[in-house]
A and B are shown apart, each in its own frame.
Chain A
């Protein structure tokens, strides 16, 4: 359904001349009509209440037009006649209960080859599945968000917050009891990873444990407020959001052009989470930032950057058909905005009515009109195989301007930087040589001649050096003379409705559809769209209005998922009929209501959740409870969760002491510049030795950094939101052998050995505390020390000695690496 069928219009035009031969009609009456009447009309005629597949076989028109799957009969063309495929059971299988006998099928073939003579005049009505919206609204997620009363529970002492009362009520109903609270050592590690994506330092752990002993609640509150206030919070939670909106720094697809300016959106998101930007404002800015009032040029710039989310999706740049290309962008924009904000797969209605949810195809085109009234600025320039180059935007006190981007041959591209660097190197070599020659010159005349050449080279070198500095400045965007380049959108010069496209084919236009929103997600009156604007601002307002039952539910469910490992609705991007049902529907509504009431604040909702008792539970197992609620859907304990790839990498760097917690500046992609990956840019160039947090690594489609890819980083071409957790040997090989893990283990080893006043036993304790946030057991400590001695012996050394001894360092490296590689390191309790 997301596919455009092959273009076969040309063939159709050539042969679809109706035939009215008398003998043909006789053939039809004798062999074809009776079969249609007997085997097909029941589901495919105007007398049927809702003809299946929008196919009506009781008139010539309907038979030839076909249904939602395609043209059912193309006279003279067996291959393009879907009817034959269905009769032969080669795709569709019709009639469904029993295949027609071979000789009957052969007669249909003959009939089509004859030109499908068919005397049945009469119009085939436009068949539409009628959606009963009132009835559809009975489905849980389309109902108005309730503000349920907080239930009264038996174990009222256990509960700390209302969230606990909702959870406990369901547990009590099943006769389940929550397990004991986790230890403070576990909690401090859990909170650190959940809120900022890094482990606590040993001192932070100690401080928390001490505070906990005084007063549990105060200790947790203080820690939570501290972590929520940290700039590291936005880097952690911003990345969660970037999964959802398929953040990527290249077009992906058949031509993979870079997006050197995509990083601005990343920084915008991180800043938004750190500032606890109200989620409704966050939505408004991303969908319609360019249309919002702004107090300053800087704010206007941030608003514009936010709309980048509509621009950095995948692009099929090699597409010849401009209309098809634009309609693909529209689908991407509809898909990302509906799934991210309201958890509906509206993109499914591009070709036909949604199969499962009450979204008619018309409403897809209501939304499409909004985005067709919008120009998208993604800035890939032109170039080989790029038939759909795009511009960028820039902003100044005078307003927003469009700027062109050149393709792979951009003057600022790294290719040129590299070329310049090569020239500089050559010049330097030449200068060195000529200096020697001058020194050895036998005559004054020769010397003079050489000097002239030498000075000329020096001049050239100076000019090249200044050019390269200028380029680097330009690339970093912080010179006053160079404008800031922004990916984003603008309203088109002419705005208006667009036509429905039959079967989603960009060039098969039907009636124009007024711009508007999804009926099913509108409680109350429809929202009007100003005829002079694209409608994006109204779309954003509709998404966040009181009458939308989905937005707040979808948002709090995402938060919940990141803190418990599973959403209350486990299909976080699908709240439709095919999504799963909420495990705690009342709690979800209560939180959604609270979320809106508290100003759409992510931080407040997160705070409420992590201060609950249920968040504090340990991962203790209980076989009896497991029998009643296997999989712990009701949350009688905490889930053992694997760290995401980013947190895993960051934790390694944090423990080794190598992490650079300063925010990343731009992206590797920015410095490389515009180009086509695999052709003008070798994908190995995105490799990075950066020790900054993982959120700043380049996310180039098709060239994801190895550690991220191995540990289930989501494919950035499609929307994420819910990561896979797979465990495979290539991950183990990475932990055992990759240069990254070995180097970081080496750093940790040196860090441990640098503690001169510690003995080896204490160093082992420190290693455990830095990596696992706990002290080793006696047995673990013995094993570790035994390993160190064995390792030094195997390496041909005698005893463990000081930090300058290579064998000692290697032995400690081996221990550090084992800790990084352990299952415990990558799981949070």
Chain B
């Protein structure tokens, strides 16, 4: 694969890689890159992709897996007992196993066990691939969240969305290729959607956080409509004159193109962000304007609209899954806020025949301890937790991997965060070992030297 860069960065990146070719080699590369290429233009993946885009649903705080998607009947049998030998890496001293306060039942033809907290989502059981053997390195929010997004927490590295955009480019030039809605400002903040050493164009665009109303600079407070058109005509005529004087400088063509794209973005972005044209039944389906589901319902509906418009990587965040106490009340309200919107997103994508090439990922940064110290709270569990995927070439109705009998430690088909990254890239048609970028004298990958593709979950 030859990812495209702007000419200068192409020169830079390639001259690092082919330094030994010395002067003649460099000149040849420069020749190959003479014409301006939009660095965000779609690129050919390494192999036929199953998924064309990603919608990642980040449940920030660490959702309790044994109360949602990892059914552990043994917890009830051994309620109140010490977990004993299955301690995992967590300090299990003084902890007592706590059964899930919620009932699990089997759903769909596949009979996947899902907690009663998800009445809507469980209707789509046959589309879900539950991954019960996920694990991460450090059960602390900051490290785990950053690792989930960038693979590493010790160093600043590009985020998964940035790597995806770098590898595949964007199918829609009127909108940013990587959009993250309401990402947390702390716990790594912008690192979680940053591009680190990749060119800045691959970083995620943050929408709707507390401090930001969305994609900025879409409107000129002085000049609108016709008048701005006149102004841009004047500007572009100046640019074209300059290009004419320097016919070999493709950077100027790039500037001209950027104004054309920007003019289109000005109208495309507000249109895609507005839910006004959605029908009343659709809004209802997502729970928009219902108190509990309004916020995440809007996020999910927006995600569908962005996916339809061709955005490559979309991430939504739902905060507040860190239930050290008040588990019953808070987990109930979290799942209520998200269950219906997520179910609506799946069914909407299915209806549009888009689920097959849209990879939906539901995950937190880790799970929660099956054995507790407080009656109504669970603590951080990094050695085993659950995520699920749907669409985008994963097998539906599958329960992949397993934790021990109590849900503490991943044991079967263990799925490290690196494996998650390798698998997601694989579904997008990218080989995680080949998707590299040369920086500081070596080739970097999202998965560093790790990562195994979980082939068993691929349809």
CB interface residues, A 714-752, toward B, < 8 Å: 715, 717-719, 722, 724-734, 736-739, 742, 746
B107 at the binding interface (Cβ < 8 Å): no
Complex CA gap A679/B141 in Å reads: 13
A339 at the binding interface (Cβ < 8 Å): yes
For residue B261, give the distance in angstroms from its CB to the closest CB of chain A: 4
The answer on a CB contact under 8 Å between B142 and A640 is no
B35 at the binding interface (Cβ < 8 Å): no
Complex CA gap A576/B153 in Å reads: 27
B115 at the binding interface (Cβ < 8 Å): no
Complex CA gap A737/B450 in Å reads: 44
Determine, out of A269-277, A508-516, A593-601, A815-823, the stretch whose residues face the partner at the interface: A815-823
The answer on a CB contact under 8 Å between A821 and B235 is yes
Residues of B within 8 A of A356 (CB): 441-442
Residues of A within 8 A of B227 (CB): 791, 794-795, 814
The listed residue with most A CB atoms (<10 A of its CB), out of B219, B228, B251, is: B251
Interface residues on chain A, size class: 35 or more
A280 at the binding interface (Cβ < 8 Å): no
CB interface residues, B 21-58, toward A, < 8 Å: 22-23, 26-31, 34, 36, 39-40
The answer on a CB contact under 8 Å between A737 and B230 is no
Determine, out of B242-250, B280-288, B396-404, the stretch whose residues face the partner at the interface: B242-250
B458 at the binding interface (Cβ < 8 Å): no
A91 at the binding interface (Cβ < 8 Å): yes
B259 at the binding interface (Cβ < 8 Å): yes
The answer on a CB contact under 8 Å between A1 and B449 is yes
Given A3-B154, A630-B30, A678-B185, do A822 and B239 touch, yes or no (CB 8 Å)? yes
The answer on a CB contact under 8 Å between B154 and A791 is no
The answer on a CB contact under 8 Å between A623 and B248 is yes
For residue B343, give the distance in angstroms from its CB to the closest CB of chain A: 31
Complex CA gap A345/B40 in Å reads: 30
The answer on a CB contact under 8 Å between A640 and B246 is yes
A642 at the binding interface (Cβ < 8 Å): yes
Which one of A328, A578, A710, A717 lies within 8 Å of B16 (CB-CB)?
A578
B221 at the binding interface (Cβ < 8 Å): yes
Determine, out of B210-218, B298-306, B368-376, the stretch whose residues face the partner at the interface: B210-218
Residues of B within 8 A of A298 (CB): none
Which one of A255, A642, A733 lies within 8 Å of B262 (CB-CB)?
A733
Determine, out of B60-68, B190-198, B322-330, B352-360, the stretch whose residues face the partner at the interface: B190-198
The answer on a CB contact under 8 Å between A345 and B8 is no
A318 at the binding interface (Cβ < 8 Å): yes
Which one of A738, A783, A824 lies within 8 Å of B242 (CB-CB)?
A824
The answer on a CB contact under 8 Å between B19 and A580 is yes
Annotate A73-96 by CB proximity to B: 1 below 8 A, 0 otherwise. Answer: 000000100000100001100000
The answer on a CB contact under 8 Å between B234 and A736 is no
For residue B430, give the distance in angstroms from its CB to the closest CB of chain A: 16
A293 at the binding interface (Cβ < 8 Å): no
The answer on a CB contact under 8 Å between B16 and A727 is no
Residues of B within 8 A of A328 (CB): 154
Residues of B within 8 A of A576 (CB): 441
For residue B245, give the distance in angstroms from its CB to the closest CB of chain A: 9
Residues of A within 8 A of B28 (CB): 630
Chain B residue at minimum C-beta to C-beta distance from A682: B211
The answer on a CB contact under 8 Å between B241 and A780 is yes
Given A640-B249, A678-B185, do A348 and B238 touch, yes or no (CB 8 Å)? no
The answer on a CB contact under 8 Å between A318 and B140 is yes
CB interface residues, A 541-581, toward B, < 8 Å: 566, 570-571, 573-574, 576-581
What is the total number of residues of chain B having a CB less than 8 Å from a CB of chain A? Answer: 107
Complex CA gap A70/B34 in Å reads: 44
Which one of B19, B20, B246, B258 lies within 8 Å of A571 (CB-CB)?
B19
CB interface residues, A 754-800, toward B, < 8 Å: 780, 783-784, 787, 790-791, 794-795
Complex CA gap A783/B236 in Å reads: 12
Which one of B143, B228, B448 lies within 8 Å of A736 (CB-CB)?
B228
The listed residue with most B CB atoms (<10 A of its CB), out of A7, A746, A827, is: A827
A660 at the binding interface (Cβ < 8 Å): no
Residues of B within 8 A of A678 (CB): 184-187, 189
A414 at the binding interface (Cβ < 8 Å): no
Residues of B within 8 A of A180 (CB): none
Determine, out of A224-232, A491-499, A701-709, the stretch whose residues face the partner at the interface: A701-709
The answer on a CB contact under 8 Å between B19 and A631 is no
The answer on a CB contact under 8 Å between A725 and B8 is yes
B73 at the binding interface (Cβ < 8 Å): no
For residue B432, give the distance in angstroms from its CB to the closest CB of chain A: 10
The answer on a CB contact under 8 Å between A822 and B217 is no
Given A348-B441, A729-B261, do A629 and B154 touch, yes or no (CB 8 Å)? no
Residues of A within 8 A of B381 (CB): none
The answer on a CB contact under 8 Å between B252 and A823 is yes
Chain B residue at minimum C-beta to C-beta distance from A685: B211
The answer on a CB contact under 8 Å between A729 and B441 is no
B80 at the binding interface (Cβ < 8 Å): no
Complex CA gap A464/B217 in Å reads: 40
Residues of A within 8 A of B187 (CB): 254, 678
The answer on a CB contact under 8 Å between A631 and B11 is yes
The answer on a CB contact under 8 Å between A3 and B448 is yes
Residues of B within 8 A of A571 (CB): 12, 15-16, 19, 441
The answer on a CB contact under 8 Å between B246 and A619 is yes
Which one of A2, A254, A577, A733 lies within 8 Å of B217 (CB-CB)?
A733
Residues of B within 8 A of A104 (CB): none
For residue A579, give the distance in angstroms from its CB to the closest CB of chain B: 6
Complex CA gap A596/B252 in Å reads: 40
Complex CA gap A69/B29 in Å reads: 34
The answer on a CB contact under 8 Å between B196 and A718 is yes
The answer on a CB contact under 8 Å between A731 and B235 is no
B452 at the binding interface (Cβ < 8 Å): yes
For residue A638, give the distance in angstroms from its CB to the closest CB of chain B: 12
B152 at the binding interface (Cβ < 8 Å): yes
The answer on a CB contact under 8 Å between B152 and A574 is no
For residue B102, give the distance in angstroms from its CB to the closest CB of chain A: 31
The answer on a CB contact under 8 Å between B190 and A574 is no
Which one of B152, B195, B231 lies within 8 Å of A814 (CB-CB)?
B231
B188 at the binding interface (Cβ < 8 Å): yes
Which one of B221, B242, B248 lies within 8 Å of A742 (CB-CB)?
B221
CB interface residues, B 409-459, toward A, < 8 Å: 414, 416, 438-442, 448-453
Complex CA gap A578/B450 in Å reads: 23
The answer on a CB contact under 8 Å between A814 and B223 is yes
Complex CA gap A294/B40 in Å reads: 54
Given A91-B451, A814-B227, A822-B238, do A727 and B251 touch, yes or no (CB 8 Å)? yes
Which one of A85, A339, A579, A827 lies within 8 Å of B251 (CB-CB)?
A827
Annotate A332-353 by CB proximity to B: 1 below 8 A, 0 otherwise. Answer: 0000000100000101100000
Chain B residue at minimum C-beta to C-beta distance from A683: B185
Complex CA gap A355/B178 in Å reads: 34
Complex CA gap A717/B197 in Å reads: 10
For residue A93, give the distance in angstroms from its CB to the closest CB of chain B: 9
The answer on a CB contact under 8 Å between B184 and A715 is no
A120 at the binding interface (Cβ < 8 Å): no
Residues of B within 8 A of A205 (CB): none
For residue A553, give the distance in angstroms from its CB to the closest CB of chain B: 15
Residues of B within 8 A of A683 (CB): 185, 189, 211
Given A85-B452, A256-B189, A583-B23, do A709 and B200 touch, yes or no (CB 8 Å)? yes
The answer on a CB contact under 8 Å between A254 and B216 is no
The answer on a CB contact under 8 Å between A253 and B452 is no
Residues of B within 8 A of A739 (CB): 221
The answer on a CB contact under 8 Å between B246 and A621 is yes
The answer on a CB contact under 8 Å between A813 and B156 is no
The answer on a CB contact under 8 Å between A727 and B255 is yes
Interface contacts beyond A576-B441, A581-B23, A733-B218: sample of 7 additional A-B pairs, CB < 8 Å, sorted by A: A316-B143, A328-B154, A718-B440, A724-B8, A726-B200, A783-B234, A787-B234
9 contacts between A and B (CB under 8 A): A253-B156, A254-B142, A677-B186, A702-B194, A715-B194, A736-B228, A737-B266, A742-B221, A819-B238
Counting from the closest, the 6 A-B pairs by CB-CB distance are A631-B30, A254-B142, A678-B186, A732-B262, A678-B185, A727-B254
